[in-house]
Structure 1
Amino acid sequence: MHSLSIESLQYSYDGHAVIDNLDLQVKENEIVCLLGASGCGKTTTLKAIAGLIRPQKGVIRIGQKQVNGEREFVAPQHRNVGMMFQDYALFPHLTVAQNVAFGLSKLSRAEKQSRVDEMLELVHLGEYAKRFPHELSGGQQQRVAIARALAYRPSLLLLDEPFSNIDAQVRFQLISDIRSIIKDQKVSAIFVSHSKDEAFAFSDRLAIMHQGKIAQLGCPTELFQQPKNQTVAEFLGRGIYLDATHSGNGSFQTQFGLVDSLTQQKNDQNKGKIFVRPSHIELYNTDSGEIKVNQERFVGTEYLYAIELQGQQLEIAKPADNPLDLSKPISLKIKPHAVNFFS
């Protein structure tokens, strides 16, 4: 059974298709990230699921309940979804406990207090119950937001860039903590982000969105190592394209020599391009080399070397205990990896 099912969803604004015939299923207790650049349709999709906008076409089901269709539209307050926002959306004049209790009007006073205590204990903020939002850090406010979103037992949790305002030093600890809370509560979730690092850390599967469609859906490892097209490959990390010939035995001939693939390649065409990321490139000193280093930066555990390939600037890392000697010639080789080949 799916917690969320979307079929042939379409939404246009001023004649422009923001969501274009989109299909998506989310399994029970699964976290799926809608990942993409600004304007790709991810936030609009989230609003359609929440009922904040009404799509022109398509079906949305939350659990077994249809909430959107040709003749059906269920109001947001009746969809049993919880929401988290990037600005926390806490009421500044209410205490932490009062914020968590805000949506629990149907419970008795005793039940409400029990639920609030349970939720605050879940997010490790029991001792902060009487404080106001301005007395908390950003991470603590986001924990209050997740406690409030989960307090009334939603069927689905929607998260709109919830970590973008969190300090970088604590962001990934918060991501880990909130992911664990969602998993422990056995809630399914849709997470919107433009950050692949956040998406990799938080989600079970990623839906890469491009021009209102899902370009590819899969687990982070699958998408990174086996992108279906160049749009997906480029979004998940910077790199360059090199002309290549597929030798047929899992390797590719390039201007920088033979490149071995760690995954099996199936292609009808033997000529095309491979997408090479900086982490696939190794720089080394040699007796004769043509690689020019434009800049060297020491960043503690490694050196970063700025080079130009195919008219593009790349930074290649080397361990701090094995730096290049810039007074000597430099060459490069492409390390064995899961090659992205496009014909």
Structure 2
Amino acid sequence: MPAGLSFEGLTHAFGGAPVLKDVDLAIEAGEVVCLLGPSGCGKTTLLRLAAGVERPTRGRIRLDDREVAGPGVFVEPEDRGVGLMFQDYALFPHLTVMENVLFGLRALAAADAQTAARRALARVGMEAYARVYPDRLSGGEQQRVALARAVAPRPGVLLMDEPFSNLDRRMRDLVREETLALLREMGATAVVVTHDPEEAMRIADRVVLMRKGAIVQAGPARELYERPVDLAAARFFCDFNEVDGTVKAGRADTPLGLFPAPGAPDGPAVVCIRPQAIRLRAAGFCLPGRVLARRFLGELDLLEIAVQGLDAPVRARLRGNPQAVEGAEVGVDIDPDEVLVFAAPSA
């Protein structure tokens, strides 16, 4: 059965240097949560603490109502019912695929362990490779075996540390979708560490954004993308065009025009314009601009456009629009729904 996982006032330090600072987080049974953030923000440490690989400096960890780490309490990893899948898969090279999966099933009778291992391999499409050694497998196949080994004991919580980062883009998309389908089929509680915001938005019920050992914002992907808590959080999800402005009475005045700024304090501001907010019109309409460069990206084109009143060009992501050739004079329109306004950082 999937288990809930909670962290209460969790703090951890290495050599006196804090890595996690008073982390409070409750993950519901059956929920898929992504821990997102830059390298060194504490994501993997939080995962290792949940698995029991590390002991927290302070705070508590609970699986459902069972305390597994806290003052005077520490349950060993093998007794937690938690599965951990490492970034490098950590398969034993001297064991076959079947033997790797059986390794985590030693508490079962031999016949039961064989049945559970074959079932797990079948779920990930690797049953035919049972007698093969890991060095004969591709990266995607090794990832599937590591996933089978992690789910075979039917853990209450599955912890995954950057599980797709070693795969090329095509294989990463395929294996990620297969893994998510398996987690949904199992109804598993899963915590996935990633530094890729697109990946987090694609797979998670809830995204937890971390920075410098603390949780900055947590919620559904759409909430973090559309209503980031601060400028740094916004930058993590989008490569904005950033323009200086001034907020007064809920409106931001910039060289590109006025934009709604609900909740922003009066004073200097950073106005963040998504590349997809830019729309091109015929020259003579809206803001005057000139196309400096155009790069084909497949489904979209990336344009750099010089706009009157700005020193740096703005970037736009557009589909089609054959008139927007390099050197073309255009009108620049901006969708205000794709603009975010934040108070300017203090010097």
Q: TM-score, normalised by structure 2?
A: 0.89
Question: In structure 1, what is the Cα distance between the partners aligned to 2:80 and 2:160?
Answer: 15
- Secondary structure in 2 aligned to 1:227? coil
Equivalent AA in structure 1 for residue 68 of structure 2: V
Do the aligned partners of residues 293 and 67 (structure 1) sit closer, same or farther apart at CA in structure 2, a change above 3 Å counting?
same
Q: Following superposition of structure 1 onto structure 2, how do residues 212-251 of structure 1 map, counting pairs within 5 Å?
A: 212-242=213-243, 243=245, 245=247
Q: How far did 1:177 drift?
A: 0.9
Who is 1:296 aligned against? 294
Equivalent AA in structure 1 for residue 263 of structure 2: N
Who is 2:63 aligned against? 62
Structure 1: 5+ residue stretches without partners: none
Q: How far did 1:47 drift?
A: 1.3
Please state if 1:278 is matched with 2:279.
no
State the Cα deviation string for residues 288-330 of structure 1 (Å, max 9, x = none).
8653544222234433213468666653222235341434323
- Secondary structure in 1 aligned to 2:177? helix
Q: How far did 1:106 drift?
A: 1.7
- Secondary structure in 2 aligned to 1:207? strand
Who is 2:318 aligned against? 318
Who is 1:103 aligned against? 104
Q: Following superposition of structure 1 onto structure 2, how do residues 77-88 of structure 1 map, counting pairs within 5 Å?
A: 77-88=78-89
Equivalent AA in structure 2 for residue 221 of structure 1: R
Q: How far did 1:339 drift?
A: 3.9
Question: In structure 2, what is the Cα distance between the partners aligned to 1:314 and 1:93?
Answer: 55
State the Cα deviation string for residues 91-122 of structure 1 (Å, max 9, x = none).
11211111111111121221111111211111
Q: How far did 1:220 drift?
A: 0.6
Question: In structure 2, what is the Cα distance between the partners aligned to 1:129 and 1:230?
Answer: 50
Q: How far did 1:90 drift?
A: 0.8
Do the aligned partners of residues 307 and 17 (structure 1) sit closer, same or farther apart at CA in structure 2, a change above 3 Å counting?
farther
Q: Following superposition of structure 1 onto structure 2, how do residues 1-343 of structure 1 map, counting pairs within 5 Å?
A: 3-242=4-243, 243=245, 245=247, 253-259=253-259, 266-267=262-263, 269=265, 272-287=269-284, 290-307=288-305, 315-343=315-343
- Secondary structure in 1 aligned to 2:101? helix
Question: In structure 2, what is the Cα distance between the partners aligned to 1:290 and 1:206?
Answer: 39
Q: TM-score, normalised by structure 1?
A: 0.90
State the Cα deviation string for residues 135-180 of structure 1 (Å, max 9, x = none).
2221111111111101111111110001000111121121111011
- For structure 1, which segment, 218-227 or 297-306, has the greater mean C-alpha deviation from structure 2 after superposition? 297-306
8 Å CA contact 1:257–1:333 kept in 2: the answer is no
Do the aligned partners of residues 80 and 301 (structure 1) sit closer, same or farther apart at CA in structure 2, a change above 3 Å counting?
closer
Q: How far did 1:221 drift?
A: 0.5
Q: Kindly tell me the number of residue pairs found equivalent between the two proteins.
A: 337
Question: In structure 1, what is the Cα distance between the partners aligned to 2:177 and 2:329?
Answer: 44
Equivalent AA in structure 2 for residue 279 of structure 1: Q
Question: In structure 2, what is the Cα distance between the partners aligned to 1:122 and 1:320?
Answer: 42
8 Å CA contact 1:176–1:201 kept in 2: the answer is no
Equivalent AA in structure 2 for residue 269 of structure 1: P
- Secondary structure in 2 aligned to 1:147? helix
8 Å CA contact 2:291–2:327 kept in 1: the answer is no
Percent identity (aligned):
36
State the Cα deviation string for residues 193-243 of structure 1 (Å, max 9, x = none).
111121111211111001110000011111000111112111111113332
Q: How far did 1:185 drift?
A: 1.2
Do the aligned partners of residues 155 and 245 (structure 1) sit closer, same or farther apart at CA in structure 2, a change above 3 Å counting?
same
- For structure 1, which segment, 175-184 or 217-226, has the greater mean C-alpha deviation from structure 2 after superposition? 175-184
Question: In structure 1, what is the Cα distance between the partners aligned to 2:312 and 2:220?
Answer: 29
Do the aligned partners of residues 339 and 317 (structure 1) sit closer, same or farther apart at CA in structure 2, a change above 3 Å counting?
closer
Question: In structure 2, what is the Cα distance between the partners aligned to 1:116 and 1:233?
Answer: 43
Do the aligned partners of residues 192 and 313 (structure 1) sit closer, same or farther apart at CA in structure 2, a change above 3 Å counting?
farther
Q: RMSD in angstroms over aligned alpha carbons?
A: 2.4
- Secondary structure in 2 aligned to 1:154? coil
Equivalent AA in structure 2 for residue 299 of structure 1: L
- Secondary structure in 1 aligned to 2:74? coil
Question: In structure 2, what is the Cα distance between the partners aligned to 1:199 and 1:121?
Answer: 27
- For structure 1, which segment, 290-299 or 25-34, has the greater mean C-alpha deviation from structure 2 after superposition? 290-299
- Secondary structure in 2 aligned to 1:201? helix
Question: In structure 2, what is the Cα distance between the partners aligned to 1:311 and 1:159?
Answer: 44
Structure 2: 5+ residue stretches without partners: none
8 Å CA contact 1:8–1:58 kept in 2: the answer is yes
